[in-house]
Structure 1
């Protein structure tokens, strides 16, 4: 199913034009993407301007990439939702749901049932033979790691063994119960015969978006646990092939993002922080059915589309103030080391 602009307007992308050239939506000028740190910032825009720019970019790039897309994207302060494209359609969320898994684990940390410093055994049975990540590559097991290490691997390099290690301390049924109590009845892992194993399960664009907004607002976890998640999603080693691809390191530090990929699915969800350090744009984008099902790299059509969206989203939102909350989210700009 390839989206066309006329269909996109009917799907609830707003009564405004889905692309300025189609229905005459006034364009808002933005500066070219900066090539170096300290370059001229993008032009000022209002939240409504930003939402319309985001809508245009999404419509343009999804039409170019083809396949099937579902998404929900908002800009803080805008009276219009930027993108509502089949936002209540249940989808296989793949590794995007690792954010929800981390929320469940950290909920138990907040309740003092777990500690980030406690150790979890890594065995050959847990590592298994499939999936991405550092645990399968290091070969150093049996061993043990801290729960904090597990969450770092889960949320940055999206380690699949880290998901199984989370199941060792929070079984699948308990993950789902915690998420339901927090209001996320459609964001659930898929239980299997082994109670400590699970498939990453399903969500909807709207519910993933809501989870991110609630997380950033401090409504799901303690400030400390919230920063455990957001600092990792904003770190330089977090996913860079999609929304953050065409960004400087400083720009990337203002984006907390999590991707999920499996089969022909290429998903991504996250937050772009405004100039006041608060969330200015929230996105949940799910893509399936594009060409290149065995290509998990940055040249996949959906990832190319998201990299161009990301540049447009950042330009639209970067001059805005985000939503004011009581939560102080730590900056995550880190620098590489040459050793010692």
Structure 2
């Protein structure tokens, strides 16, 4: 981990001037006529939705500091993906729990081919439970037990359950997951095998590949229609990650966003898709970040997490009114809280 961070830090990534050059936005502040004070970048004239997204990204990631590996696109009026931010998009990084989307993709690919079913059961033993990590399996203290594969994937992608990763490994070994992802066009999005073939670390990706995987998912070319709907429903669920992009939003706005976060050591990642109210995908974001201050803080006040929380409403405001005629409409499930009974 130390070598990885030092190598990235040595690249000199993260300054405002670098962001402006990468995004093609010029310098971060514009000199006033006659040599007056430079203007605040937040006060620069705004144009298209893509321009607004690009400016928001530049301001918030500069405020957070550290290193960013990002790829953000906004749908044009024709549906074509327009790049709003591209920074170190092809750098291979540890994706951490964002790669749980890739793991779920491999499992659902086997479901689509009739090799697995969502209602088949997997055994949960005390030996397979990850103690002290994220999720719910380590909390119920009732093993051995069994759950359906659908339950495993729901835990994997909503509460980011660490034990669910091991349960996926029981039905999709590491080598097979990697083969499936390569066949789908994602050679850098790979889990890391260990001695036990049914276990693995969550591995690597790039911002561009994670972006393209999400675009393929919402475009209907990654999985079957049933598996696509299943996966997106999990990523848009009210109990999915709410500390980042979705933090300061209404329940209706949160339902418009499919998202997955990942965190470990000094890294704080998030990737997802923003939909229009009618269910059209209009913005896809991948925000991998590391090297910020407060690396032992895994809560909502970490600088990179705060940056994403600020970006969420700005992204929504920027794409208000956008449609995407080239992609299927995917309306979220209606949130209906209950009071028991």
Q: TM-score, normalised by structure 1?
A: 0.89
Mapped to 2, the partners of 1:85 and 1:111 lie a distance apart of 36
Question: Contact 1:14 / 1:80 at 8 angstroms: preserved in 2?
Answer: no
Q: Distance in 2 between matches of 1:277 and 1:197?
A: 36
| CA shift digits 1:289-322 (9 cap, x unpaired) | 1111111111111111100011101111132113
Aligned to 1:44: none
Cα pair 1:276 1:322 within 8 Å, conserved = no
Name 1:299's counterpart in structure 2.
301
Structure 1 segments (4+ residues) deviating >6 Å: none
**Number of residue-to-residue matches in the alignment:** 318
TM-score computed with the length of structure 2 as normaliser: 0.89
Q: What pairs up with 1:163-182 in 2 under 5 angstroms? A: 163-182=165-184
Question: Which residue matches 2:235?
Answer: 233
Is the contact between residue 134 and residue 159 of structure 1 (CA under 8 Å) also seen in structure 2?
yes
Contact (CA 8 Å) 1:72, 1:87: kept in 2 or not? yes
Query: In the alignment, which residue of structure 1 is the partner of 2:70?
Result: 71
- Checking the alignment, whether the CA contact within 8 Å between 1:9 and 1:15 is kept in structure 2 is yes
Q: Structure 1 residues 241 and 19, CA, compared in 2 at 3 Å: closer, same or farther? A: farther
Q: 1:26 aligns with which of 25, 38, 45?
A: 45
The residue that corresponds to 2:188 in the other structure is 186
- Measured in 1, the distance between the counterparts of 2:320 and 2:188 equals 31
Work out the CA distance in 1 between the residues paired with 2:270 and 2:98: 7
Distance 1:18 1:106, change over 3 A: farther
Q: Return 5+ residue gaps in structure 2 as ranges.
A: 1-8, 31-38
Q: Deviations over 1:107-148 (max 9, x none)?
A: 000000000000000001110434211000111110000000
Q: CA RMSD in A?
A: 1.8
Q: State the partner residue of 2:50.
A: 51
Contact 1:76 1:323 (8 Å CA) reproduced = no
Which position in structure 1 is the counterpart of 2:15? 4
Counterparts of 2:88 and 2:81, CA distance in 1? 19
Q: Distance in 1 between matches of 2:29 and 2:136?
A: 42
**1:120/1:145 contact within 8 Å kept:** yes
Which one of 262, 265, 282 corresponds to residue 284 of structure 2? Answer: 282
